[in-house]
Structure 1
């Protein structure tokens, strides 16, 4: 896609400029979509898969945000807005608090199918937006945006970011007695879709809010630990019922945990070998 020359608005939004996507860029979306949609049944949460259908994301080519927002608005009152890339924290939280999901309007090159450092339209739309068609998860994300605004006042953004990372980006959920993926960083990645469920390397640990907010994470490779929520209702309940101000005060006085660390009180679904991380370190 040609670089959009329009300057971002005060809230960092820009026109998606859908008509300027090239045929190659639409093909890149289709390749990624076909690969992931074939891989995810039996791996992804039914909530995610239902969102794909509700939003009609199987239509060929990069989605038009205006059409996508119409369907999403009918489902949960959310909309998708285009941004040129990563946005400041305050802007990001304001959009979420007002049920607007920011999505990059560019897509990776064909030689970047398996890894891209900055989130593109495939990660943002395919990975995130289907979950926003679920009323419970949509409410959780709005609460997260509101919480982010408060966390800035407590100088606790690093702690709150871990909650987003280990749920919205790399979360697992227990459904019908099995573990399923729902985090956008997993469902949009062919490699991590397999690794998160099939590999013996990572830990899979029951979700605990305070424990998650103490845990560092990897930004350069597959995760060394994944946290498993019992349900999306339980995740929303944890966000609603927690008074975060005293929790931030507690966290300030406790040491961070390393990504691979397992505590004696953890509910452990899989105590990982960490072979993947160790092989990279070696």
Structure 2
């Protein structure tokens, strides 16, 4: 449940995002788009290695793929101005992502590796949780190689190249965020083998930071800007997360986050707000084993709960919320 649940670009509800495809792919739900792309990969004789990586098949991107990338890039780049954190915009500039074509992963790595030691690797799409964590623990971020179709600009069941690349990779050139992702991968990998309760705790942390995280900015709408990839790559969630009165926006607290359920079928009921990226860096330096032992078996909070001890940035009106469906 970490990679396909967590990756969203949608008009009215998030994608079947990034967490689900990486953490819950024992019985993956394959959309027609991904099935077609996997068949194309098979027919082309592309080799999938034991770690689920492949060589990015640059020659397989056609005019439609490049046009979809171009349309999504232009839309999100314009929409994110004044809404996304400066660190994300800095990352876009440093990586020199092309606006008019699907990027070469190796060209991106030439910028990314010297900066933070990270690299991106091409994958077919769904990756088992242990493999996903192992990649992160070794500063490799799996990026789905294929692009969505033109009729899927606003909704897709699982992450594609645009979500993974545009949404996630710009922040990997930021040292604090890069170190947080590395530490997260190492910690999650230690609990990935057979500890479903622990994996659930780490899935929530990934969801509410890497995918749907907000960061404080007093000058912005509702006192926040965006940094999570599931928001950054989504027109609908970009506007909703920052501007809507419906969701809660609550100050980040590690234990609170790891005990809080989330939504994969609608916009989020709650977003957690970090003060700055140094706060995530502090999380990265923690010893997780005692915390996991403490939280394993503790009751989870509903996605829309507001607790007495919460630091409430904004309390949501709850408009449009569904009564059930928390993960």
Same fold (TM over 0.5): yes
Instruction: State which of 68, 71, 74 in structure 2 corresponds to 1:28.
Output: 68
The size of the alignment, in residue pairs, is: 280
Instruction: State which of 240, 250, 262 in structure 2 corresponds to 1:217.
Output: 262
Asked if the contact 2:247/2:316 (under 8 Å) is kept, the reply is: yes
Asked if the contact 2:262/2:302 (under 8 Å) is kept, the reply is: yes
Q: How does 1:65-214 map to 2 (within 5 A)?
A: 65-152=105-192, 155=195, 156-175=198-217, 178-214=223-259
**Normalization by structure 2: what TM-score?**
0.82
Instruction: State which of 246, 254, 267 in structure 1 corresponds to 2:298.
Output: 254
Taking the aligned partners of 2:258 and 2:193, their CA distance within structure 1 comes to: 17
Deviations 1:160-201 (Å, cap 9, x if unpaired)? 110000000000011355411000000000010000010001
Larger RCO, structures 1/2 (Cα 8 Å, 6+ apart): 2
Taking the aligned partners of 2:149 and 2:193, their CA distance within structure 1 comes to: 39
Query: RMSD value over aligned CA atoms?
Result: 1.7
Asked if the contact 1:36/1:188 (under 8 Å) is kept, the reply is: yes
Asked if the contact 1:206/1:227 (under 8 Å) is kept, the reply is: yes
Taking the aligned partners of 1:67 and 1:238, their CA distance within structure 2 comes to: 31
SS in 2 for 1:35: helix
Change (3 A) 1:127 1:179: same
Asked if the contact 2:231/2:238 (under 8 Å) is kept, the reply is: yes
What residue in structure 2 maps to residue 10 of structure 1? 50
> After TM superposition, what 4+ stretches of structure 1 lie above 6 angstroms from structure 2?
none
- C-alpha deviation, 1:153, in angstroms: 5.1
**Normalization by structure 1: what TM-score?**
0.95
Asked if the contact 2:179/2:284 (under 8 Å) is kept, the reply is: no
| Stretch of structure 1 that moved more, 116-125 or 250-259 | 250-259
- C-alpha deviation, 1:237, in angstroms: 0.4
Instruction: State which of 321, 324, 327 in structure 2 corresponds to 1:277.
Output: 321
Asked if the contact 1:151/1:160 (under 8 Å) is kept, the reply is: no
Segments of structure 1 that go 5 or more residues without pairing to the other structure are none
SS in 2 for 1:266: coil
Segments of structure 2 that go 5 or more residues without pairing to the other structure are 1-36
